[in-house]
Amino acid sequence: MIFQQIKSGGNKNFAYLIAGRHTAKGALVDPAPDPRRVLNAIKHRNLEIAWIINTHSHSDHAGGNDYFRKEGKNNQPVFINCPKGQKIRDGQVIDIGGVSLELIATPGHTPDSICIKAGDKLMTGDTLFVGKIGGTWTPEDAKMQWESLQKIASLPPHIEVWPGHDCGIKPNSTIGYEIQENPFFHRLSSYHEFLWLKQNWAQYKREHGIQ
């Protein structure tokens, strides 16, 4: 499997390029904020983008979609979990040229947030960063995020975490690492503890030297 993490500008955003080893077609995850950076990686590998998947609908992840609609001209990609694309079912599996992608609903940061599992790699968008998590705006959103993170935590510890932003101490980790090191997993046993930490995150970061 071809799997490439791409620095795509903005607030340290990451895009992801995925394809089978023996195909000319690939999938692109979150082609924004600067889709031209992503296009360079695609051209370097001589791939045609046949699928575009957004981890959620925020413009810094989905805003590059129209660029690839124009680039595709007569060979339009299939758009999945995009504002103008196909919606997903939790647990849905799609085949992209011999590579199976599992689409996991993880609402919280946004109602349409998903994680995308390709083999032992999990692209987490703004649901989970390395050592941190994405923001929410209401207690109800936080409750959904807590439940989504419990779903993620149930995956095998060797599964690799590939986030939507490079805002942790390293650009990727594993489920096992997050369970041991991420304050939003480590030692939290209830939603109420989780909500308290979210509401007091700025103070917690200062006290624990977290950037």
Contact between 37 and 7 under an 8 Å Cβ cutoff? The reply is yes
Q: Measure the CA–CA gap between 210 and 149, rounded to whole angstroms.
A: 20
Summarised one tens digit per residue, pLDDT across range 126-142 is 999 999 999 999 999 99
Question: 95 pLDDT band (50/70/90 cuts)?
Answer: very high
- In this predicted structure, the answer to whether residue 150 has a pLDDT above a threshold of 80 is yes
Give the global pTM.
0.94
3-state secondary structure (DSSP) of residue 37: helix
**Helices and strands (H, E) in the chain, number of each type:** 7, 11
Give the tokens for residue 84.
Answer: 């103008």
Check residue 97 and give its pLDDT. Answer: 85
CB-based contacts of 16: which residues, under 8 Å, 6+ apart?
Answer: 3, 4, 5, 6, 28, 29, 30, 123, 162
Identify the residue whose tokens are 């413009």.
59
